[in-house]
Amino acid sequence: MNYIVLDLEWNQCPYGKEKENKNIPFEIIEIGAVKLNDRRECIDKFSKLIKPTVYKEIHYYTKNMLSITMKDLKNGVSFTKAMGEFLEWCGDDYIFCTWGASDLIELQRNMEYYGMSPLAEGPFKFYDVQKVYSMLFEEDKTVRRSLEYAVDRFDILKAAAFHRAKEDATYTARVMQYIRYDDMEHYYSIDTYHRPANKKKEVYALFDNHSKYISREFSSKEEAMADREVISTRCYVCGKNARKKIRWFTGNGKLYFCQAYCEHHGWLRGKIRMKKTDNGKFYVIKTLRLVSGEEALFVKEKQEEVRKKRREKRKS
């Protein structure tokens, strides 16, 4: 299997969000990628400029960040031609690697806009190198560093400027060479641009210290939170149902928490991220994590915080 280290550059509406095309807020103007073999050795590179058809002027932010002019882009190829060549270049056995998750989202949004077949029929595995870097090298695992920050961390030679697709893909590939395969696998990500089509295709992923469940789409939040699988709290170690001590609750309708107890393995902390799709439906990403008794207090404290805010709101 090969690693396709992907980076994209895109443009946006130069006249403000109110005039943007909602179906394609970010139009891809450059694709850059590095192909690594299973030993993380570079075996090929890909680079293609794309002639824009949606936003035919460059946004000032894009112009300031990239050394690309509209004259350059007019010599580019169509998005569908670039993508066809890129996917053929990728081959049959590969996994995407990106610095952050947004590149794959915008790639698929652009593909959908141009009526291309999806990369996959549902969620698929990839490596978010930015996230993996934080999990391994940052004290605060939630912080997300710039690519240049990581390059400096490993004293990687800056042979080219940042913020061009092929160059950033090359730097990301160099950072990957400092990360062990087992560590990459431990922190792999799942792309959810295309959700599971039905209940049978819902995703159940097991990691060393937590489980992840990705649901199909629901017509409303209420429908999602009424689903038995969504609100279940099975222990991911033994598979037995853990009894809820604090039922699912939310303070903002986006994050839900619960606390459960497994007789064999102890406290479980549950978190649901409620996601809204472009078509107005909802799906959930649920994680269950075994925690210590002290860590389990987080859910109780969170519940008290939500209750306090609701009491204050009723008084005002």
- Cα separation, 245 vs 264, in Å, equals 15
Ordered DSSP codes for 249-299: EESSSSEEEEEEEETTTEEEEEEEEEEE-TTS-EEEEEEEEEE-HHHHHHH
**Hey, is 20 helix, strand or coil?**
coil
For residue 42 the two structure tokens come to 């570079």
* Furthest C-alpha separation in the chain: 67
3-state DSSP call for residue 60? helix
Short-list 52, 3, 6, CA closest to 31? 6
* 9 has pLDDT over 90: yes
Distance CA 78, CA 114 (A): 10
- Which pTM was predicted? 0.91
- What is residue 225's three-state secondary structure? helix
Pairing of strands 124-128, 94-98: parallel
Distance, CA of 45 to CA of 213 (rounded, Å): 35
The rounded distance, in Å, linking the Cα atoms of 107 and 124 is 14
Looking at the DSSP bridge assignments, the partners of residue 241 are 234
Domains in the chain (CATH in brackets) are 2-186 (3.30.420.10), 198-315 (3.30.530)
DSSP 22: T
pLDDT at 67: 81
pLDDT digits (tens, 9 = 90+) for 73-107: 999 999 999 999 999 999 999 999 999 999 999 99
Q: Three-state SS for 158? A: coil
Q: How far apart are CA 164 and CA 148, in angstroms?
A: 13
Confidence label for 113 from pLDDT (cuts 50, 70 and 90): very high
Q: What is the mean pLDDT of residues 11-38?
A: 95
- Condensed to tens digits (0 to 9), the pLDDT of residues 196-254 reads 999 999 999 999 899 999 999 999 999 999 999 999 999 999 999 999 999 999 999 99
**Roughly what angle, to the nearest 10 degrees, separates helices 129-137 and 165-176?**
40
